Chain A
Amino acid sequence: EVQLVESGGGLVQPGGSLRLSCAASGFTFSDHFMDWVRQAPGKGLEWVARIRNKANRYSTEYAASVRDRFVVSRDDLQNSVYLQMNSLKTEDTAVYFCSRDGTKYQFDYWGQGTLVTVSS
């Protein structure tokens, strides 16, 4: 069974940093691209970042709203993907989901999400 479990969320002050983790199981993690998607309270879905697999040189993509502040990484030995979030702003407050990119342009599995609250 495919499982994605996020952790690392919490309350942080504006300007602070936080590192989210997503532990994957039930599939060959190293084969798949992985994404982070967030959802502000009461709002819609916003794609945040992607990291590709080794065959694609672990290349990354970011939403403009987080580029230069967030860094996505992965550890294929630990079957985990990470999101390092720096210079956090109040507008980064959201539930952050990790998701698996299927092989046909779809996000086919999602974690349950972890809440990040940026507030003083």
Chain B
Amino acid sequence: IQLTQSPSSLSASVGDRVNITCRASQGVGRFLAWYQQKPGQAPKLLIYLASTLQTGVPSRFSGSGSGTDFTLTVSSLQPEDFATYYCQQINTFPITFGQGTRLEIK
């Protein structure tokens, strides 16, 4: 299953609301997760089962969607949110990741 994220890169300002979309080449139900990765660090789980917020993740992060179309929303960007974001499907093997969305400061 191919996951296509859009945009591939995004410039935004602190306080902005941003949406990152992830489209699957076939349905994955709600078995989709979102991760944040900063340079030199391991990925960090943000959202699983499409919309469940991982413990300890700020509530400004939210996820939605099912089937083939998913969205990660950050309601009000904070300085620490500038990073690369990946979606991942765990519905079907092989497990696959999107190509990533780089979120940069405008």
Contacts and interface: CB of A to CB of B under 8 A. Distances in A.
Contacts of A62: 94
Interface string B3-38: 000000000000000000000000000010101010
B53 to A, nearest CB: 11
A85 B88 CA distance: 24
A46 to B, nearest CB: 7
A73 to B, nearest CB: 18
Contact of B86 (A44, A50, A105, A113): A44
A46 B97 contact: yes
Nearest to A61: B93
A23 to B, nearest CB: 15
B42 A44 contact: no
Interface residues of A, number: 22
Contact of A47 (B41, B42, B97): B97
B94 A47 contact: yes
6 contacts: A37-B43, A44-B99, A47-B88, A64-B94, A104-B49, A105-B31
Interface of B: 31, 33, 35, 37, 41-45, 48-49, 52, 54, 86, 88, 90, 93-100
Interface of A: 35, 37, 44-47, 50, 61-64, 97, 102, 104-108, 110-113
